[in-house]
A and B are shown apart, each in its own frame.
Chain A
Amino acid sequence: MHILEYLPSSLEVVPRFVPAVIDKLKDCGLTKEELFDVKLSLDEALVNAIKHGNKSNPELKVSVNIEVKDGMLTMEVADQGDGFDFTKIPNPTEKNNLHKNSGRGVFLIKKLMDRVEHFDCGRKIKMVKFLKIGGKK
């Protein structure tokens, strides 16, 4: 299964695009728990790319590349914004940050996916999940 899309920088596309991806992933044999984790991670990555990366600029696109292969799901989300220092993301579970009403997106992705990497000065995030039943090639 392979999806490559270029989405407009509008949050309105997220609730249409993500369920469509999840429907396709259901056919790849992902468990309910895996689907929940993948949906939340993809949601958070897209919202970050649209809102914080591209700052909802309609002239900028968000690219999404999703592949299920050899029992592994890989999702890459890239924006065209200024990037950010991904080494300085505060830990939202620390006492001083627990009350803050932002800054949990990347943290959730890191907890729900098995491998998370940032590229291109923070403009691109790669998320990997090793699937329980191996997935379909």
Chain B
Amino acid sequence: MKIREEKVNDAAVCFLEGEVNINNTPELRKAFDGLISKGEKKVIVDFSAVTYIDSSGLATLIEMFQRLKKINGRLRFCNMEQKIKNVFEITKLHKLFDIADSRENALKDF
């Protein structure tokens, strides 16, 4: 998995590429640690190049959601392929997370 970060307005956009799985979630957690320590409170994860996610990936996102919530921050996702969205729907995590269809929509009223 590759992680690319960029700043759009006052949001930090985390662009993930490849598979999010148990072997690379420590890397993702480290990237999220970096965003928290930089004081980022609005984080968007762009899923457009994510091909796979397992329960460990979901757990890391829940962790980040909770960390941001504690500091009155927000986490949004965008550009999920249907097969990835299905994983969120099966586990009902689409009810917990804010999932936008595009990056533009994720940035709206954020």
Report whether B54 and A99 are in contact in the complex, using a CB–CB cutoff of 8 Å.
Answer: no
Contact of A44 among B54, B63, B95, B96 (CB under 8 A): B54
Contacts A36-B83, A47-B56, A102-B59 given: A14-B90 contact, CB under 8 Å? no
CB neighbors of B among A87-137 (8 A)? 92-93, 98-102, 104-105, 107-108, 111-112
Contacts A93-B92, A99-B66 given: A108-B87 contact, CB under 8 Å? yes
Q: For the complex, give the distance between the alpha carbons of A92 and B62 in Å.
A: 13
B residues whose Cβ falls under 8 Å from a Cβ of A: 21-23, 52, 54-56, 58-60, 62-63, 66, 83, 87, 90-93, 95-96
B22: which A residues are within 8 A, CB to CB? 11, 14, 43, 47
Q: For the complex, give the distance between the alpha carbons of A105 and B55 in Å.
A: 6
A39: which B residues are within 8 A, CB to CB? 52
Q: For the complex, give the distance between the alpha carbons of A14 and B93 in Å.
A: 25
B53 CB to nearest chain A CB (Å): 8
Q: What total of A-B pairs shows CB separation below 8 Å?
A: 58
Q: For the complex, give the distance between the alpha carbons of A75 and B60 in Å.
A: 27
B63: which A residues are within 8 A, CB to CB? 101
B20 CB to nearest chain A CB (Å): 11
Closest-by-CB residue of A relative to B92 is: A93
Contact of A98 among B56, B59, B87, B95 (CB under 8 A): B95
A105: which B residues are within 8 A, CB to CB? 55
A residues whose Cβ falls under 8 Å from a Cβ of B: 11-12, 14-15, 32-33, 36, 39-40, 43-44, 47, 92-93, 98-102, 104-105, 107-108, 111-112
A25 CB to nearest chain B CB (Å): 15
Other A-B pairs beyond A36-B52, A47-B56, A98-B92, 15, CB < 8 Å: A11-B22, A11-B23, A14-B21, A32-B83, A40-B52, A43-B21, A43-B54, A47-B54, A99-B66, A99-B96, A101-B62, A104-B58, A105-B55, A107-B90, A108-B91
A118 CB to nearest chain B CB (Å): 18
Contacts A12-B23, A39-B52 given: A99-B92 contact, CB under 8 Å? no
Contacts A14-B23, A15-B23 given: A98-B52 contact, CB under 8 Å? no
B45 CB to nearest chain A CB (Å): 16
A107: which B residues are within 8 A, CB to CB? 90-91
A102 CB to nearest chain B CB (Å): 6
